[in-house]
Amino acid sequence: MIVAMTPIPLVPHPDGSFRATAMVEAGRSSAVVARAWVTFGSTWGASHVLITALDDQGRVMHRGVLEADVPNNRRVVLEVPSGVVMVTVEGRTDPGAIPAAAVSELLRDD
């Protein structure tokens, strides 16, 4: 089993909003990645986040949405559905809060 983790760069705007997109392929859409997760955390304050998994037609995937209030020093995790090709991460932070996100991938062991 090999697990890789890739940060998703999040830069809050002056109003506290942030948004990012990451290429994530898992399951039937990937010859390399068996399963994938997006983890979002918030430190030095709370954040509100919406993570959305999209298929190859740009449609929101069933069970591919996580919306949550994330308290200070906490995290949430979305396992993305098989067939995902991209995720969006968007939301808003408290003043001074620092949001962080990353994709973890479990590579196929063929």
Mean pLDDT, range 5-24, rounded to an integer: 96
Among positive and negative, which fits the CA dihedral 94, 50, 100, 39? positive
Q: What is the pLDDT of residue 1?
A: 59
Residues 6+ apart with CB under 8 A from 90: 17, 18, 19, 20, 49, 50, 52
pTM: 0.92
Residue 65 β-bridge partners: 52
Residue type, 6: T
Distance (Å, whole) CA 69 – CA 67 = 7
Domains and CATH numbers, the chain: 3-107 (2.60.120.380)
Residue 2 has pLDDT above 70, yes or no: no
pLDDT digits (tens, 9 = 90+) for 25-60: 988 888 888 899 999 999 999 999 999 999 999 999
Residue 86 β-bridge partners: 23, 54
